[in-house]
Amino acid sequence: MPRGSLHKNRNVVGRILNLLHLVTYKRYNNIKKFGSPHLRIMKVLISCAGIGNGHASRSLAIGKKLEEIGFSVTYASYADGYRFLKREGAKPLYKIPKWYMVFEPDGSFNLLKTILTSKTLLINFFKQLRRLRKIVEREKIDLIISDTEISSAATAKLRKIPCIFLTNWLRVKLPTFRLNFSPSFLEDLVDKIIVPDFPRPYTLVKENLKIPKETLKKVSFVGPITRKKPIEVETIEKYEIFPEEKPLVFFSITGPGSSVNIWKNLVNKLKLVITKNFIVTVGLKKLFKKKYSNMVVSSWISAEERYKLLKVSDLLVSRAGFGTISDALAFGKKMILIPQPNQPEQITNAHSVQKRGLGIMVSQTELESLFSLLDCMLTDKNIEKNLRKYRKLCERYDGVKRSIDVIKHF
């Protein structure tokens, strides 16, 4: 056979193999479940909560990996989550109606006032259902992955589409009413639950284990979900940011409403701490960047830049979102966590980190203590030892890879 013909045949075979690779994820049991008579690429809708960037970040990590192995992925979110996904280039991307929540001037979440606006909540819920139904019909969705976004899980139930629910908070605490409960309705609403926490006995938030056995059967603890591993992030040196090399503290200080005023006062005091250098991001919509002798303050940085700064930093000072904690553990970084006031999930997360000797929790009302804690944290060898253990656990339990395995074999 002529060499040209052999080369041409190899190309044809290669194309056929690539096509088979794309369609094999639509296995026979999934064909029965989705009611499709033909093999085709599975179409997935990832709908995530839009409060903060954490849900959107881990949703994008899973979505990008699904796209790499041949799935067709559509994204949907609102508010912060929608803006984050848009900046990061997630496509196709849909905006859905947002939840309206009441925050106090100090940034604390007011559950009671939010509940009193229940009429608005109900109206927005039905608006979300209508919008999501249209997205599902337009994109011909086969599977919905919901990151803590109840309306998309409800849409899946109504449309009889399989649903995987992603959440790091299986046991809800409502301090306003002194209530603790497990959202057992998830057991009936969704087909599978992915928790981005370590399996037993390493589970970071032990409250996630205090759920009904029937619900636990649907749960997979996959490990922390992060968009980047340390080895995948470009290494920068401290001298590239500041001429004088000192301990570098990364402040990622965000929050709703006028809580930003609290951080402005803190920034003014950090200028006086000349023994350290600071990178500060404040999460404002208005873009700006200011540089001082020992500090750089930015309104917003890209996810890529954030990972570079996290990698080079000696200490992270941040809110207590689970995504932020996951990144810090993966990169082996000490943490001072300032949970958003009256936000039970963040308070629980921060308590868990402190209990395991991975960082310290500071109340927003006690920010003055931060300055004395900086030196203590930077020199604490026990925390370094504990972080080395959890960094190895992050390498062992790859949350993205294990999530993909759950989705593929669902």
Q: Can you spell out the DSSP letters for 353-379?
A: HHHTTSEEE--GGGGGGHHHHHHHHHH
Domain with CATH 3.40.50.2000 in the chain: 21-225+398-408, 230-396
With bands split at pLDDT 50, 70 and 90, how would you rate the model's confidence at 7? very low
pLDDT at 386 over 90: yes
With bands split at pLDDT 50, 70 and 90, how would you rate the model's confidence at 17? very low
CA angle 406, 348, 346 (to 5 degrees): 85
What order do you get walking across the sheet with 72-77 strand by strand? 93-95, 72-77, 43-48, 143-147, 163-166, 192-195, 219-221
Per-residue tokens: 184: 């057992």
5-26: b (≥16 Cβ within 10 Å) or e: eeeeeeeeeeeeeeeeebeebb
Mean pLDDT rounded to a whole number for the chain: 84
Give the pLDDT of residue 183.
54
CB 164 within 8 A of CB 145: yes
pLDDT at 36 over 50: no
CB 155 within 8 A of CB 139: no
Tell me the backbone φ, ψ of residue 373, rounded to 5 degrees. -75, -25
Percent of the chain with pLDDT over 90: 59
CATH of domain 21-225+398-408: 3.40.50.2000
Least confident span in 25-34, 186-195, 272-281: 25-34
pLDDT at 201 over 80: yes
Entry pTM: 0.84
Report pLDDT digits (tens) over 39-84. Answer: 568 999 999 999 888 999 999 999 999 999 999 999 999 998 999 9
CB 151 within 8 A of CB 179: no
CB 143 within 8 A of CB 180: no
Distances in Å between the Cα of 311 and the Cα atoms of 161, 180, 230, 380 are 40, 37, 7, 18
Burial class (CB within 10 angstroms; exposed 0-12, middle 13-18, buried 19+) of 137: exposed
CA angle 396, 63, 204 (to 5 degrees): 35
Report pLDDT digits (tens) over 226-273. Answer: 999 999 999 999 999 999 889 999 998 765 544 566 777 888 889 899
In the DSSP assignment, the letter for residue 283 is -
Distances in Å between the Cα of 97 and the Cα atoms of 7, 50, 132, 141, 163 are 53, 10, 10, 19, 20
For residue 176, give the nearest of 341, 51, 303, 54 by alpha carbon: 341
Give the pLDDT of residue 34.
42
Give the pLDDT of residue 181.
43
Q: Rounded to whole angstroms, how far apart are CA atoms 220 and 222?
A: 6
Least confident span in 63-72, 159-168, 173-182: 173-182
When comparing pLDDT for 166 and 369, which is higher?
166
pLDDT at 26 over 70: no
pLDDT at 360 over 80: yes
Tell me the backbone φ, ψ of residue 179, rounded to 5 degrees. -120, 140
Give the pLDDT of residue 30.
44
Strands (E), 34-184: 43-48, 72-77, 93-95, 143-147, 163-166, 172-174, 179-181
Q: Where are the alpha helices (DSSP H) in 148-212?
A: 150-159, 185-189
> 3-state class of 295 per DSSP?
strand
Strand 172-174 versus strand 179-181 pairing type: antiparallel
Q: Which CATH class is domain 230-396?
A: alpha beta
When comparing pLDDT for 402 and 182, which is higher?
402
Q: Rounded to whole angstroms, how far apart are CA atoms 333 and 326?
A: 10
Length of the chain (residues): 410
Q: Report the pLDDT averaged over residues 162-174.
A: 81
Integer-rounded Cα radius of gyration of the chain: 23
